[in-house]
């Protein structure tokens, strides 16, 4: 039986085949939130969404490594003010282009499933803008539970149901950071842009990322 590659050929989309990546993402997300609570007295996200975000960052960096694309990245294991991450308002930088990877978990928020590209307003003001924002989403979309106990074990259970990560597209900072995209959700207002986004094939062309041509069906 032919082994299926993690990255879909000719695309950024990723098939989940690494249970270690799921556990790593949860562990690092837990550490991140504990550190944020200690430093700020509050957290700006929950464990599930943070874990999905870290997983998307790791996948994107792994793809660039696979494709031999030189890049700089921040390390989620370390704090934002750590010398490794300090002064870097991005997840990944390719040449002079800064990139922020945003992820949508497979579990729906109270407003229901969506494919929006969201970025926290405080993140923009305190850390800085990026040139490109990439929207990713974990699939399949799951049904909401009546009263889930959202602890670490629950998060791991949800992540183990993820089959693939899709790169929905990208937007520039000028397209995303607009007053009419601002949602005054308290306590954390955020910018939100609905699809359609620019295609990832266009992103690859702009940044000279050599994605392979799609192969013919077997």
For residue 15, the cross-strand partners are 164
In a domain, 2, yes or no: no
Is 213 within the bounds of a domain?
no
What confidence tier does 186 reach under pLDDT thresholds 50, 70, 90?
confident
| pLDDT of 218 | 42
The residue range of the domain holding 185 is 14-206
Q: Which residue has the tokens 């909401």?
A: 144
Name the pTM for this structure. Answer: 0.90
Residue 34 lies in a domain: yes
- Section 71-92 average pLDDT: 90
Mean pLDDT of 97-121: 95
Instruction: Taking residues 54-74, report their average pLDDT.
Output: 95
pLDDT digits (tens, 9 = 90+) for 5-29: 589 889 999 998 877 888 899 999 9
Q: What is the pLDDT of residue 5?
A: 58
Q: Is the pLDDT of residue 42 over 70?
A: no
In a domain, 43, yes or no: yes
Contact 196, 175 (CB under 8 A): no
Residue 18 vs residue 123, higher pLDDT:
123
Q: What pLDDT was estimated at residue 146?
A: 79
In a domain, 214, yes or no: no
Instruction: Judge whether residue 33 has pLDDT over 60.
Output: yes
Amino acid 216: pLDDT: 39
Burial of 115 (0-12, 13-18, 19+ CB in 10 A): middle
Read off the DSSP letter of residue 139: E
| Cα gap 73→100, rounded to integer Å | 10
In sequence order, what are the residues at sequence separation of 6 or more whose Cβ sits closer than 8 angstroms to the Cβ of residue 217? none
Average pLDDT of span 40-69: 89
Please report the beta strands in the chain, taking only residues with DSSP state E, as ranges in sequence order.
14-15, 72-73, 92-94, 97-104, 117-120, 132-139, 164-172, 182-183, 190-193
- Please report whether residue 4 resides in a domain: no
Tally the domains of the chain. 1
- In the predicted model, is pLDDT for residue 212 greater than 80? no
Task: Give 203's pLDDT tier (boundaries 50, 70, 90).
Answer: very high
Task: Name the average pLDDT for the chain.
Answer: 89
Q: 5 lies in a domain?
A: no
Mean pLDDT calculated for residue range 165-189: 93
Q: pLDDT band at residue 179, thresholds of 50, 70 and 90?
A: very high
Closest CA to 168 of 55, 56, 5: 56
């Amino acid at each position: 039986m032919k082994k299926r590659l993690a990255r879909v050929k000719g695309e950024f989309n990723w098939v989940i085949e690494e249970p270690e990546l799921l556990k790593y993402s949860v562990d690092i997300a837990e550490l991140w939130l504990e550190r944020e609570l200690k430093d700020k007295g509050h957290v700006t996200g929950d464990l599930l969404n943070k874990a999905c975000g870290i997983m998307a960052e790791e996948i994107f960096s792994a793809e660039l490594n696979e494709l031999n694309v030189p890049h700089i990245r921040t390390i989620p294991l370390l704090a934002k003010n750590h010398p490794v991450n300090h002064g870097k308002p991005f997840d990944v930088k390719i040449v002079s282009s800064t990139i922020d990877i945003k992820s949508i978990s497979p579990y729906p928020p109270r407003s229901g499933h969506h494919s929006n590209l969201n970025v926290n307003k405080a993140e923009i003001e305190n850390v800085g803008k990026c040139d490109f924002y990439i929207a990713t989403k974990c699939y399949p979309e799951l049904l909401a539970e009546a009263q889930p106990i959202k602890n670490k074990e629950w998060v791991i259970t949800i992540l183990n149901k993820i089959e693939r990560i899709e790169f929905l597209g990208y937007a520039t900072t000028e397209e995303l950071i607009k007053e009419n995209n601002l949602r005054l959700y308290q306590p954390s207002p955020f910018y939100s842009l609905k699809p359609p986004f620019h295609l990832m094939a266009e992103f690859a062309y702009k940044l000279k990322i050599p994605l392979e041509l799609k192969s013919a069906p077997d």
